[in-house]
Structure 1
Amino acid sequence: MLVLSRKVGEKVRIGDDIELTVIEVRGEAVRIGITAPRGVPIYRQELLDAVREENRAAAGVQPPAASRQAPGELAALGAQLTARRGESGKANGNRES
């Protein structure tokens, strides 16, 4: 990590397109102005960390019971439903094509 000391009004350039300007220093807080192309995403680290943590928590959520069934069990249930539909159609006088 590169560590620089800057005073209010001084700037740091990153490449040709990004400029950081020290706007204000108040106690332990530093206000920084960032000039960058619109296509360059700029995020505060604590927000990224919070989003990542939420995503991890959401990924740990149990899926609905049906999606935890073994594929063979789901296929068997599907076959049973198809057979029942065929039987109910014949009972009503309908023919399947």
Structure 2
Amino acid sequence: MTLPEEPPLLTLISPTEGMTVRAGTPFLLQGSLTDSAGEPLADAQLTWSLGDVPVGSGWTCWTASEPGITLVQLFAYLGDELVARKYVRITVEGHDRVGDCD
């Protein structure tokens, strides 16, 4: 596979940096990979991980997590080559949370 002359643009749409979700409740992972003109790269492969644990692939996918600060990572491949990576940190609140005190 030949890579485009301009580097593709990887966008991590959801979740957003600092977002808070409930433990065990599915949340949406959504991203895109476009060329310099903003057109989606149909042959792109997107994979998702929470920390170092793979959780899915594709432009969108649903996942859930245990409580804590979680690193959501999005990797974009064209063929076998990693062309971009984005990440955000989210907070996953436990079911038994009582208040905002440490």
Larger relative strand fraction? 2
Provide the TM-score with structure 2 as the length reference. Answer: 0.23
Larger relative helix fraction? 1
Structure label with greater radius of gyration: 1
Q: Which has the higher contact order (CA 8 A, sep 6+)?
A: 2
